[in-house]
Amino acid sequence: MSACYPLLMGKRMFLFLLTNLAVVLTLSIILSILGVGRYIGPGGLDIGSLAIFCLVWGMGGAFISLQMSRWMAKQATGAKVIDGNTGTPELDRVYQTIASLTQQAGLPMPEVAVYDSPEVNAFATGPSRNRALVAVSTGLLRTMRDDEIAGVLGHEITHISNGDMVTMTLLQGVINAFVMFFARLIAFAIANRGDSRNSRGGGSFFVVIALQIVLGMLGSLITAWFSRQREFRADRGGALLAGRDRMIAALRRLAANRELVDTQHQALATLKINDKSSWMVFFSTHPPLEARIAALERM
């Protein structure tokens, strides 16, 4: 392991904590301006204030993260942006392939980056079609042929074309808001059962946390299901852009290297073309590669 690795990980952890602190501070200021930081008053629970409070935290956090997604992804993986004139043939071919596929899809050119990792993987992120990032691992470049790489890149370009990052953020934000709202509502009801409406008890902090965990797990079933459907759609789009045989070949190559998936950055797991399937299939963000290949073969 390089002597610089602990310093690099320390820097990334510091930036992660700093980013989250900035998000919390921003949302706290917004809530203070709206005057809904306190949703329990002398008259009991103020449903309107609670709804706004949860909406700001649920949706606000998700959309701030989306706006910062390119920067955070590059910081998390150490990805380096390339411009197609690196002088390294394999990197320049990746850039030119993405340029060709985005033109074919009628999209603006995204940022293109490469990150150093043995995993055979790639991902796309960004707040919009005009501000997207496509990144590939060095492991993918070493393992895949050019036609297979084209299939992977077609898949990622389709994610951008479909607006999957924005849709996923919207869905996650709504679920976050509902989880926060109902966890506090149920906790309040438990804490004040049998009391008059004037009770000011908001429920135990630990009860709220426990309810958020349970409701959050139920909500994750919805986001996982949607994520699996968008992977099927991106595979079909990749087949249309790069060719069905190339897309199938790419998925078969991923299946042959399914153990080479980096699990250090779970926040990026749903963005990648390949992820280790969960033993609980309903919580898995990616369908089994065999099912994805079979779906393309039936196209």
Query: pLDDT value at position 189?
Result: 84
State how many domains the chain has. 1
156 is catalytic: yes
**Residue 3 reports pLDDT greater than 50:** no
- Nearest residue to 191 (alpha-carbon basis) of 36, 42, 52, 45: 45
Domain that holds residue 238: 1-299
**In whole angstroms, what is the distance from residue 33 CA to residue 138 CA?**
46
Query: pLDDT value at position 7?
Result: 45
* 62 in Cβ contact with 169 (< 8 Å): yes
- Nearest residue to 189 (alpha-carbon basis) of 204, 179, 175: 204
Mean pLDDT of 134-150: 94
DSSP state of 272: B
**In whole angstroms, what is the distance from residue 117 CA to residue 77 CA?**
8
Tens digits of per-residue pLDDT, 229-280?
999 999 999 999 999 999 999 999 998 887 766 656 556 667 777 666 555 6
Work out the mean pLDDT of the chain and round it to a whole number: 82
Q: How many residues does the chain have?
A: 299
For the chain, give the longest Cα–Cα distance: 74
Check 111, 119, 148, 156 and give the catalytic one.
156
| Lookup: tokens for 282 | 């309903």
Nearest-5° angle of CA 179, CA 185, CA 191?
Answer: 130
**Residue 175 reports pLDDT greater than 80:** yes
- Strand ranges of the sheet holding 122-125, from the earlier edge strand across to the other edge: 80-82, 111-115, 133-137, 122-125
More confident residue, 4 or 90: 90
Tens digits of per-residue pLDDT, 12-39?
445 545 555 555 566 566 656 666 556 6
Q: What are the CB-based long-range contacts (under 8 Å, 24+) for 62-67?
A: 62/169, 62/170, 62/172, 62/173, 62/176, 63/169, 63/173, 64/23, 64/26, 64/27, 65/23, 65/169, 66/127, 66/165, 66/166, 66/169, 67/127
Query: Where would I find the beta strands (DSSP E) of 44-101?
Result: 44-45, 80-82
**In whole angstroms, what is the distance from residue 111 CA to residue 32 CA?**
37
Give, rounded to a whole angstrom, the gap between the first and last alpha carbons of the chain. Answer: 45
Tens digits of per-residue pLDDT, 6-19?
444 445 445 545 55
Lowest mean pLDDT of 53-67, 183-197, 282-296, name the range: 183-197
